[in-house]
Amino acid sequence: MIPEGYGHEAPADWDPESGEVVYLAGPEHAEAVDTVDTAGGPPSTPPPEQSHATRYVDGAAFVLDAPARIPAVWGTGNDVLWPEGEALMIAAGNGLGKTTLAVQLVRARMGLSNQLLGLPVTPGGRRVLYLAMDRPRQIVRAMGRQFTEADRDALAERLTVWQGPPPYDLAQHPRLLARMCDDAGADTMVVDSLKDAAVGLSADEVGAGYNRARQAALTEGVQVLELHHTVKRNANGGEPNSIADVYGSTWLTTGCGSVVLLVGSPGDPLVGMRHVKQPMNEVGPWTLTHDHEHGTTNVQGDMDPFAVLHAAGANGATAKDLARALYTTETPSAAQTERARRKLERLAADGLAKRVDGTREGGTPARYYAAGGAW
């Protein structure tokens, strides 16, 4: 009997004798992803897992042997956009450059460049697997701006592309993602885009299922980059500007180590970038310049907190003053003000700024002054 949900045709890789759905046809791919009830019911008990003994580690090694600084795929020191062993999500509306950024990261992971947006990118040791699920022809055009015939050998040796949707819903088959990376010989994976990886991302059970797939891939040593969409308008009717504006279940962002938002108008060469979930320091906010002809991106006019303090002169600046400058708003949120305060505190700790405490009774905030001035 054909499994329920497949109409009158069995899936190409369903074995009617064993009642198993296998990932790819052929003896070299005979391991089951999940077992399907041949009577048409829900999936039965999955096949036995392999031994996970290698995942156990003693408490001392787990806590005390961790590196002092975050190992970074993309970033340096505490300024990390893509932490090693944790997923990076780039979320934005259509036409804001998600794929443009992803292709530049792919090039760097292939060892053909070493930085993006002024931050170093660590090259991978194996292939990059690019899941070109959302409009593959558009992804081809984006890659064509970055790669030429001179890169043919590197592309053949270091990049594998999967075209179209995955063979099965990744939330329902959470072991499939890691298996695809293993089949491709990849230690880096780009999911473009998340909406095509699983159906019903607004449901928590789907978000949790996909997160299991993501974590399984990370556990196998795969570095995961995901492209996703934001809501069109946030709860206040404005453009998306926070992690709450990423579309779908909270488990999609909860399972990431870092989340970046791109904001602006589709096709605009100037796009805002907000680092809304950080492993350590907030990076940016920045205005990015997309060169659509060459497929490259740069930071335009990076707002330097020290420069803001220096320009303020003898008046100094409060955390809210800096937040107004960084986020280009007269009414920064409490979270934006707190992030600005942390930047000022880092300047003070590095000897680049002087802090003068305010008064709690009068509600006067602390004020910061650039070091070395006549004030």
- Tens-digit pLDDT profile for residues 286-322: 999 988 888 999 998 666 787 778 778 888 899 988 8
Q: What are the tens digits of pLDDT across the range 251-281? A: 999 999 999 999 998 877 889 999 999 999 9
Q: How far apart are CA 53 and CA 51, in angstroms?
A: 6
Query: Does residue 20 form part of some domain?
Result: yes
pLDDT tens for 89-121 read 999 999 999 999 999 999 999 999 999 999 999
Do 124 and 183 belong together in one domain? yes
User: Are residues 204 and 253 part of one domain?
Assistant: yes
Q: Are residues 127 and 165 in the same domain?
A: yes
Exposure of 285 in the CB half-sphere (CA atoms within 13 A) = 23
| 240/345 same-domain check | no
Distant-in-sequence contacts of 265-270, Cβ < 8 A, 24+ apart: 265/95, 266/93, 266/94, 266/95, 266/96, 267/95, 267/292, 268/96, 270/300
User: What is the predicted pLDDT for the residue at 39?
Assistant: 35
310 and 296 within one domain: no
Among 247, 281, 300, identify where a domain stops.
300
In this predicted structure, the answer to whether residue 86 has a pLDDT above a threshold of 70 is: yes
Both 331 and 238 in one domain: the answer is no
More confident residue, 23 or 281: 281
CA–CA distances in Å: residue 157 to residues 77, 111, 222: 31, 12, 18
Strands laid side by side in the 159-163 sheet: 159-163, 127-132, 186-192, 223-228, 88-92, 258-263, 270-277, 286-291, 296-300
337 domain residue, yes or no? yes
pTM over 0.75: no
The confidence band for 350, taking pLDDT boundaries of 50, 70 and 90, is: confident
pLDDT at 22: 44
Q: Is 375 part of any domain?
A: no
Confirm whether 248 is domain-assigned.
Answer: yes
pLDDT value at 6 more than 70: no
pLDDT band at 18 (very low <50, low <70, confident <90, very high): very low
- The reply to whether 271 and 318 lie within a common domain is no
Question: Do 37 and 117 reside in the same domain of the chain?
Answer: no
Query: For residue 362, what pLDDT is reported?
Result: 63
Q: Is 90 exceeded by the pLDDT of residue 10? A: no
- C-alpha distances out from residue 210 to 49, 94, 165, 169, 175, Å: 18, 22, 14, 9, 10
Tokens of 127: 């292939």
Confidence at residue 31, expressed as pLDDT on a 0 to 100 scale:
42
The residue segments making up the domain with residue 322 are: 305-370
pLDDT (average), residues 169-185: 96
- Res. 235: pLDDT tops 80: no
269 & 123 share domain: yes
- Over 60: is that where the pLDDT of 4 sits? no
Mark whether 110 and 249 lie in a shared domain.
yes
Distance CA 140, CA 145 (A): 9
Structure tokens at 361: 């009774």
Q: What pLDDT sits at residue 54?
A: 73
**Is residue 132 in some structural domain?**
yes
* Residues 258 and 138 occupy one common structural domain: yes
User: Would you place residue 331 in the very low, low, confident or very high pLDDT band (cuts 50, 70, 90)?
Assistant: confident
CATH number at residue 255: 3.40.50.300
In a domain, 209, yes or no: yes
pLDDT digits (tens, 9 = 90+) for 44-84: 344 445 556 677 889 999 999 888 888 999 999 999 999 99
Whether residue 57 is contained in a domain is answered as no
12 pLDDT tier (thresholds 50, 70, 90): very low
Count of domains forming the chain = 3
184 within some domain: yes
Q: Are residues 241 and 290 in the same domain?
A: yes
